Structure 1
């Protein structure tokens, strides 16, 4: 038997043919591997039950929650030192407006002397403006009172005649005035306590203003050195992005502040000229009111327009009030379509919808102060983000509005679905 087996093996080796192998039984493990190509669950591959889009959104969600919590914490801390924040904000506004003037003066004198001269000139301009307004009001007060009585009678005649037929008389206004005086007399104690409680607020205003002027002096004189010192306290890898972010933020903020001041001056000057042409009393104070209202986006200018129209209505009649409203509305259109694009340019390029939402959110959170601070804060944030962010190639309008986001599929082709099993080639 052994010799015959050896002879068969030798003859197979001599002829070069392969020996016949006995078939082996298929094990269960081999069956699972072979069947895994047709049914992935057999090979242990279980599709992810959570869709890919949900996992991506969850990842973004908890990161955004952490960022929102950090931002909320920062705003909470800043709200505890509101006076300090407001003082620094005002100081930055003063610095952005006066810095070009100081740079011009510093060419021919020491910088400290240039800072002092610029501050004195600005205080003289503001003080002279306030003095002129007060003198104008004091000089025209008696004439305004007489014209106001005549204007009230004109308003009554207009309301009683025409389509209204309200049948109002001066006795009605006298009754309302008497009721108002009686209410003031009955609540004099509450009014006095409220007035005394506001003394602290007045003291805070002067403290904030003094601190803002103090910070402005050092920002104008040593602002570059202070910024360099701050950068030197940070790690070296962080200095370049901080320098880029700081430059972009200051460019946007200073452009917004200087542009707002220039636009407000232009609006006030044009409004004063228009009110003077129409012969409206207190044209100078109303022009100053328009100037102040220009610093409050969206709501400041309409508020000043309403007050000017009321004065014109009470002193000159309905047609004068309409002319005042039309003139100030035209000034607003000139501001929005000519002055802002020309003066601010691309320094603060925010969509009107973003401005409206920012002002509304700022008003809800911080009242009047929030409405004033919201737009420059959003503008600076967007400028810093745009400077540090590297965007991907933009999409066209056609691509963004297509049915499948610009992806064209061949007939019969399907989009990849999350959790599908790998193909045979990928498995191999």
Structure 2
């Protein structure tokens, strides 16, 4: 018998039993299954707490969103010599005055024409149904009745749903006023004392954890501010262009439709689709088929401008979210928390993306430090 080569390493795979390999794989799968179950349980508990504390969480979330808008003017005022309290007060009062002015100019006409808008939309849906029943499609009544009834009831109850959906979980008018007051007070303190938060957090969490928290929170703040400001600009451009087209064509309720277009812009993808469909339906009933086609063309052109020019230029740098992620986030947020959930879904998804990216960066840095630079073998 020949002796084994002294320089030959023993093959570990030859000495391992097949059952040992299968058992190790099962243990690995069980470990990760338990991790997934634990994460799912934690997510369920978090969702339960959010639902129970929604009345508190909603004003805080809205105050943070408003603070991202008011922080630039507040910072400008403080850099020009005003104390933080005075600068925050001016910014908040200016925001209240601007909001009150917009409400005084727009809301009365919207409220007066909302029933007419619902009626015209209903007529448009019925007219479309008549066309679908005619040649060449000839769709039967029973196939359309359920869909038409759902759309009509949705349109007729839209104003009530909006009023109740904005503050889901806040049922009475007094609670709504209290929530609005709380949002304004929180916004004042956020823009006034915001710069003190990170140093305080650094002291509480320690230097190592505080460094990571500071970086993540700074990135989240930049993303939120960029989203709100750019979304407002994009929505304003859409509303101005589409509203001007509606006014030129003499479409009824042009101002109301422009306002709906602006508000719908804060719910990406879904809001633009709903506002555009509503404008086409009103034009169809009020001005006829040709005008409806022209309105459809204007809306498609504006949406192409938004999707191919405005959104990539203004939002891609700050959001960096795929359209599928945005759509799924809006669907989940709307189903859980209504209109406010759909509005907050994209910022929340962007925050989660920021955290995931930062964790990925830290993992890459740790693995690169562990492996070290690759060195070339020295020739003998």
In structure 2, how many angstroms separate the alpha carbons of the residues matched to 1:239 and 1:138? Answer: 49
- Residue 79 of structure 1, aligned match among 43, 51, 57: 51
Match of 1:351 among 319, 322, 335: 322
Q: State the 1:379 CA deviation.
A: 1.0
RMSD of aligned alpha carbons: 3.8
* Greater Rg over alpha carbons, structure: 1
Q: Give 4+ residue runs of structure 1 displaced > 6 Å after superposition.
A: 43-46, 138-141
Q: Which runs of 5+ in 2 are unaligned?
A: 1-9, 139-151, 153-163, 366-380
- Deviation of the 1:285 alpha carbon: 1.9
Give 1:422's aligned residue.
none
Higher helix share: 2
Q: Distance in 1 between matches of 2:170 and 2:52?
A: 20
Residue 202 of structure 2 contacts residue 211 of structure 2 at CA under 8 Å; is this kept in 1?
Answer: no
SS at match of 2:49: helix
Q: Please give the alpha-carbon distance, in whole angstroms, between the structure 2 residues aligned to 1:89 and 1:267.
A: 26
TM-score by length of 1: 0.65
1:120 aligned to 2:93? yes
Inter-partner Cα distance in structure 1 for 2:332 and 2:356? 20
Residue aligning to 2:342 = 371
| Structure 2 match to 1:332 | 303
User: Structure 1 stretches of 5 or more lacking a match?
Assistant: 1-36, 167-179, 181-193, 394-428
Compared CA separation, residues 87 and 44, structure 1 to 2 (3 A): closer
Q: Summarize the Cα distance change of 1:239–1:139 in structure 2 as closer, same or farther, 3 Å threshold.
A: closer
Checking the alignment, whether the CA contact within 8 Å between 1:245 and 1:388 is kept in structure 2 is: no
Distance 1:245 1:140, change over 3 A: closer
TM-score (norm 2): 0.73
Aligned equivalents of 2:16, 2:346: Cα separation in 1: 57
Query: Could you tell me which residue of structure 1 aligns to residue 368 of structure 2?
Result: none
Matched with 1:304 is 275
Work out the number of aligned pairs and report it. Answer: 321
Separation in structure 2 between the aligned mates of residue 140 and residue 254 of structure 1, nearest angstrom:
34
Kindly indicate whether the alpha-carbon contact (under 8 Å) linking 1:252 and 1:347 is maintained by their aligned counterparts in 2: yes
- Residue by residue over 1:270-302, the C-alpha shift from the partner in whole angstroms, topping out at 9 and shown as x without a partner, is 222111121223322211110111111221111
Q: Give CA deviations for 1:236-283 in whole Å, capped at 9, x if unaligned.
A: 432112112212222222221222222122221222211112122332
Alignment of 1:23-172 (within 5 A): 47-50=19-22, 52-108=24-80, 109-134=82-107, 136=109
Contact 2:264–2:271 (Cα < 8 Å) also in 1: yes
Distance across 1 between alignment mates of 2:59 and 2:359 = 28
**1:228-247 alignment, distance < 5 Å:** 228-247=199-218
The within-5 A match list for 1:270-289 is: 270-289=241-260
CA distance in 1, matches of 2:111, 2:18: 87
